[in-house]
Amino acid sequence: MYVRGDTRGAERDPPPASTDPEGLIDAVDRQLIDLLRANGRASIAELGRQVGLSSAAVHDRVGKLEAAGVITGYRAVVDPAALGLDVTALVGVIESDSVDDTGVEAALREMPEVEDCWRVAGSEGYVLKVRVTDIPALEAAISALNRIRGVARTRTTVVLSTKWEGRTA
């Protein structure tokens, strides 16, 4: 089994799945996860103060959570309006009967307007969060979506205002 910092050999066990069937995530780990979700830039020392552990212990715990795939990354949350992305829409994608999911997903991934993509149950196969500069850009994005092989049609809901997004707690 791989232990963080172990450099004795190139072959290592793969990290465990991100689910926690064996109860490997304890209350302190959950507290660290909540703190990092609220502020991904918190220092190891600050996290240690908040959970009552040494910096070294917190560093080890966070490293293990990252290696296990529980913590998958850190990112900057940016105000879309500051980037000129003033229109947000949720677009449901209804697939053709004979569709290749991988082709549709690859095409969706190539569209920079698509910020998030969820595979869903129901009449729609995917729900997308699309961000664009204005309504003509949204119209162009919807047209591009409808041209993807395997997409039968789309259903669009324009967001009037965002009350919150990316809940952290």
Q: What is the CATH number of the domain that holds 64?
A: 1.10.10.10
Mean pLDDT computed over 97-102: 76
Number of domains composing the chain: 2
Q: Percentage of residues in the chain with pLDDT exceeding 70?
A: 85
Q: pLDDT class for 20, splitting at 50, 70, 90?
A: low
- Distance, in Å, from the CA atom of 157 to the CA atom of 143, rounded to the nearest integer, reads 15
Residue 41 sits in the same domain as residue 88: no
Q: pLDDT class for 42, splitting at 50, 70, 90?
A: very high
**Would the pLDDT of 22 be above 70?**
no
Residue 61 sits in the same domain as residue 131: no
Domain with 142 in it: 80-158
Q: Which residues of 62-79 are buried (b: 16+ CB within 10 A; e: fewer)?
A: bebbeebebbeeeeeeee
pLDDT at 23: 62
Give the predicted TM-score (pTM) of the model.
0.73
Residue 101 sits in the same domain as residue 57: no
Of 44, 77, 110, the residue that ends a domain is 77
pLDDT at 169: 58
CATH number for the domain including 119? Answer: 3.30.70.920
Q: pLDDT class for 13, splitting at 50, 70, 90?
A: very low
Of 52, 77, 102, the residue that ends a domain is 77
Residue 11 sits in the same domain as residue 73: yes
Mean pLDDT computed over 19-43: 85
Residue 168, in any domain of the structure? no
